[in-house]
Structure 1
Amino acid sequence: MTLGCPTSYHPRIVPAAWEVKTAFQPFEHGAMIWSDHIGWYPQPVIYVLYADSTYERLEDTYDPEVDPVSGGETPPEGLTEPILGFGKVWREQPGIRDRLGWGTTDESPGVGRFQLFWGGQMLWISQTNQTYVFTPTRADVFQVPFAEE
């Protein structure tokens, strides 16, 4: 996998990572990450990370004025039903629920740092203290542990 050089929204601007709001929820067979930006644009997105290291990126269409907070389902003992945007994706997008299973804990809010490259993206999130590397083919996502000093 080659990410290439960092990119910027303008050729005269030095490429840099920027802070984003995030949410994270682990599932039986993967995880979901929400970010309030996609690239430089303030467009909320949800990354669905599967246990086989593949992923999907979906627009977050959750609207609190229209959509229910939860689907009202009863999860198995010790597991949780995803809510809000994660819940909407989990309930409405074909195959995601079957591939992920139930949440293993509730979603948690946090912050992150997002960096775009010619050949992909990197997103560090505070909840896991890991950097996730996404390729444009959506064939692979890599987790890079954060080295503590």
Structure 2
Amino acid sequence: MKTIRNHVDHLFRDVPENEETLLMKEEIIENLEEKVDDLIREGKSQEDAINKAIVEFGDISEIEQAFQEEESKPAPHWLKKSRARLNLEFSLWGSALLIALFAFINFYYTPTVIWFVYPTFAVLWWPLSLFFHWRKQKGGHQ
């Protein structure tokens, strides 16, 4: 029912759209449509059933407040440490793969000139910077 979908979309206009909110919108729409079907079976016209279902549902201020509280919560300390370590590990693997690629290209195409060490120095700044960030998050270097 397009009227219900439009109403729910209007209610969620100020809520950030993500997978959780999309699932919640779909669930609300399904519930409202079931309510409308029940009211129609009881003898109400479709328009009256839709209006009554919408009025009984009310607004989503509690839902909006829950989403705002969830967004405003800072990430837990252990999660920040975990992300820093994951970023460091990713940068180490990524750098190793890039250096291996440069070495392969170097030795395959120009084996007489060793040039892969120059981009290696540039690539190593990535994990080095994340290592210091990880140490700072870990609390070992303040």
**TM-score normalized by structure 2?**
0.19
By relative contact order (CA 8 Å, sep 6+), the higher-ranking structure is: 1
The structure with the largest strand share of the pair is 1
**TM-score normalized by structure 1?**
0.19
The structure with the largest helix share of the pair is 2
Which protein is bigger by CA-based radius of gyration?
A: 2
